[in-house]
A and B are shown apart, each in its own frame.
Chain A
Amino acid sequence: MNKDKFKHGEELFCPGHRACPGCGAALTSKLVTEATGPKTILSMPTGCMEVTTTPYPESAWGISWIHNIFENSAAVAGGIETAYKSFSKRGKEGYMDYEDVNFVVLAGDGATFDIGIRSLSGMMERGHDVLYICYDNEAYMNTGIQRSSSTPIGAATTTSPAGKESFGENIHKKDMPSIAAAHGLRYVATASVAYPEDFKKKINKALETEGPKYIQVFAPCPRGWKHESKNTIDIARLAVETGLYPIFELEDGQLTNVRKIKDRKPVEEYLKAQGRFKHLFKKDGGGEVVENIQKIADMNAERIGIDK
């Protein structure tokens, strides 16, 4: 009865996908397709979104979509882009719209920060006209919440568990936007699912820029971060408002646009909302880790200039 009323046949990202309720990455996927439009070829590595959107023989995608392996989504996108350009140059029928086609990668933080960084670096260095979007949920969620180099200090995962001696992850989150910018990219940005318009605007701005570009979007994971599914957006907003996830744009390596925060909230508010940080408030010595996390937020504020 619902199918005529709700018209799902035209969507570029369709319901029926098997992501958990309240999934930040699924929301990211929707926003990406809304911004890129139908003339898009999306390359996706292994990860939550690959597994949940394309269990054979189903697909939630209404755009061209390809999966190969965990390591190589950037190389696949670069290859497609080059082949398309070459066919277009040679006048091959069906490929003359090269200028109008968006070549996009959508990958998780595991595939971006760790496993796929070699092919991502290669793609950026060679200068393919590809937009690489990383949905950052700060661990390998698909395989059961193992730490990645995006996992922040203090977060408990199955491979950085909190215990008698341990306060969860003890290594700093890798600064991936700076690594992307260091490749000489003309456009690098961070975004959050809490600000969909800002995210979509950044995708469109990136697509207007020729060459490689990188956007990293903060996408909470209720399952892995141990918060209620309804709080996905609240938590994404808190990450920005505490200064732990600064939202900015880097154009030609220069900081050009920063989301300013008036009266930054204390990091406790963000940490207490999630089960992955709960040991910090239960165990002796946890306060010291919280202080260190506050220092990270203060450093972000100073380095990027987010205070209003």
Chain B
Amino acid sequence: MTDDPYKNLKISKGAVVKPRTSLVNKTGSWRSERPVVDHEKCVACGNCEKFCPDMAIKETEEGKFEVDLDYCKGCGICAEECPVKAIIMKEEEK
């Protein structure tokens, strides 16, 4: 995890920012539906990871594809592109 870019923030002429600092912005709070992976059905093709615009679905060390709910915005592309329908979109509860 990178440092908090908001700590000791100064305004300068021409801005310089540190790489990967967007990680502080947890876009998971945007979500209204969350993808749920059925590992029994999953054939580990990797389509969900390949097409995710938010780098929020990854293959874990056990070879399973899991959703990073810190950043998943719930767009639903992974569920749509899954060839065996192993991902369903489930409404978030308040």
- For B78, give the chain A residue with the smallest CB separation: A230
Contacts of B52 in A (CB 8 A): 27, 30
Q: A16-B26, A26-B53 are in contact. Are A229 and B21 (CB under 8 A)?
A: no
Q: A5-B60, A27-B51, A30-B55 are in contact. Are A56 and B17 (CB under 8 A)?
A: yes
Q: Bound complex: CA of A230 vs CA of B51, how far in Å? A: 11
Q: Does A8 contact B (CB under 8 A)?
A: yes
Contact pattern, B 38-61, Cβ under 8 Å of A = 1, otherwise 0: 000000000000111111101010
A-B pairs with beta carbons under 8 A, tally: 131
Task: Kindly identify which residue among B15, B19, B26 contacts A62, using a CB–CB cutoff of 8 Å.
Answer: B19
Task: Kindly identify which residue among B68, B70, B73 contacts A21, using a CB–CB cutoff of 8 Å.
Answer: B73
Task: Kindly identify which residue among B6, B55, B75 contacts A8, using a CB–CB cutoff of 8 Å.
Answer: B55
Decide if B17 touches A58 in the complex (CB within 8 Å). yes
Interface 9-mer from A231-239, A250-258, A263-271, A295-303: A231-239
Q: Sample 15 A-B pairs with CB under 8 A, ordered by A number.
A: A8-B68, A9-B1, A15-B27, A15-B55, A15-B56, A16-B23, A16-B26, A18-B25, A21-B73, A21-B75, A22-B75, A30-B55, A59-B19, A196-B51, A222-B75
Chain B residues proximal to chain A, CB less than 8 Å: 1-2, 5-6, 9, 15, 17-27, 30-31, 50-56, 58, 60, 66, 68-71, 73-77, 79-81, 89
